[in-house]
Amino acid sequence: MSANDGGNTYLEKVVAQQAVLEGDLRSRRSAPPPPGAVPPPGPLAKRDRALGGAPAASPEHAEAGPVEVRIKGFWRWKNVLVPPNAFVVHTRRGRAEPLHIGLGVSFRFNPSTDSFLVVPGATQTILINAYCICSELQGVLVQGYVQWIIQDFATAYRKLDFGDAQDPMRVVNLQLREQAEAAIKDKVSSMGVRDVLSDKQPIIEELTARLRAVAEGEDHSDRGLGLRIVTVQIKEAVVSSSRLWENLQKPYRAEQGRIARLAELEAEEAVAQREMAAQRVKETQRLEHERELAELRSRNEAERFDLETAEKQRRTRREHDDAREVAELETETTRHALRMERERHAEEAETGRLRIERDHELNRLRVEGELALQETRARAQHETALLGLERERIRAAMDNEQAPAAIQARLIARLPDILERLPKPDELRTVTVNGADQTSVAGLLTQLAAVIGALRAATAESPAVTGGAAPEGTGRAAR
């Protein structure tokens, strides 16, 4: 194998990635047991322990290792609980065949006579780094991986070494890795560098055939190892020599550079042609624009000259017309002023006549309004007097139609008022009418008449009270 010529960056990256992947796969395995812990079950370990020398174990504990196996019970009476995704084989002293064998089989266990082996049943992955020499005597790194699984555990545990307590699959993986690397190197030695880099299918087919012949046996014979190859893949194929790697890439890079340069030249040519066409179009448009501007400028100057000439003629005609119109306007203005003066005098005369007629009409309307107002007031006063007379007549009729009993009741009701208005007498005289019934109305009236007469005589100096009370009492007495 040729040495690296100055270093191969791509090769270094590939190797570093492979190392990281191996570390990730190892980190998933169980950590080693701490000091003083119970050792994991070894491959077909006799576990010869004296009945009296075995320490008292806990009722249940899990064995450390790639497979978590739980052991319950104590001394001779123990139970081994195996996960469902792990293969187990259980043997006993004096028995030629195992007592239990299979996937996820749990069983009773006597440490003094029994031993068992637990192997993971999951798919295993082997990472391959094969440093090969091709037919051109150049170093090539081929990276790939192989995935395998236990198919017949009864055959596998007899032919393979699962003796590593921490990683039972380690020895088997190492053996299969060595066989895979040997097969890859053998196949690559008959291929060229370009074939290895461009087509990896022959390597995959050769590696798959050889590993299956070893793991499964030829034509499914019993000479296999009880394993089954799940898949074989080649990830990378890298030339170890950086100079060779660059030389291999140079033709393609040169071709790609040529294509890129031609593309750039074509693009530049197309751009130049487009620029020239655009420049030509722009220059043509500029010339056309200047020609149109010149034509437009000449037309504008001709039109301006025509307009100026026409404007001069129009102004001359306009001045003559204005002078004639001014003379006519002055004459018409004089006539219009005279006509307006006559119309103004006529309007003033008509306005004076209308003002006089309006004043006469307003005076007539004012007189008629005052007469109507006076008539209305007289009619209202007449109606008010008639209503007062009618009210007096109705009151007199009502007074004349009143019964004696009502008159007496009114008189009796007004007696306190009358008495309050009368002055205090100097002396009190009592008049007794013989033969009159004081309990009757006539007797009461007689007594009242006598009292009033006495009061009238005693208070002759008060004509206002006597004059106001006597007529009412006389009138009531007359009634």
**pLDDT band at 200; cut points 50, 70, 90:** confident
pLDDT in tens, 331-349: 888 888 888 888 888 888 8
**Which position has the higher pLDDT, 465 or 196?**
196
Task: Report pLDDT for 339.
Answer: 86
Architecture of the domain delimited by 9-245:
2-Layer Sandwich (3.30)
Whole-model pTM: value is: 0.43
* Sequence ranges of the domains in the chain: 9-245, 411-478
φ/ψ region of 54 (left if φ > 0, alpha if ψ in -120 to 50, else beta) reads beta
| C-alpha 1: how far from chain center | 66
pLDDT at 465 > cutoff 70: no
pLDDT in tens, 134-179: 888 888 888 888 888 888 888 888 888 887 778 888 888 888 888 8
- 127 contacts: CB under 8 Å, gap ≥ 6: 18, 21, 22, 25, 143, 145, 177
Task: Report pLDDT for 224.
Answer: 80
φ/ψ region of 263 (left if φ > 0, alpha if ψ in -120 to 50, else beta) reads alpha
CA distance 425 to 421: 12
What DSSP string runs through 426-468?
SS------TT--TTSHHHHHHHHHHHHHHHHHHTTT-HHHHHH
**Which position has the higher pLDDT, 291 or 139?**
291
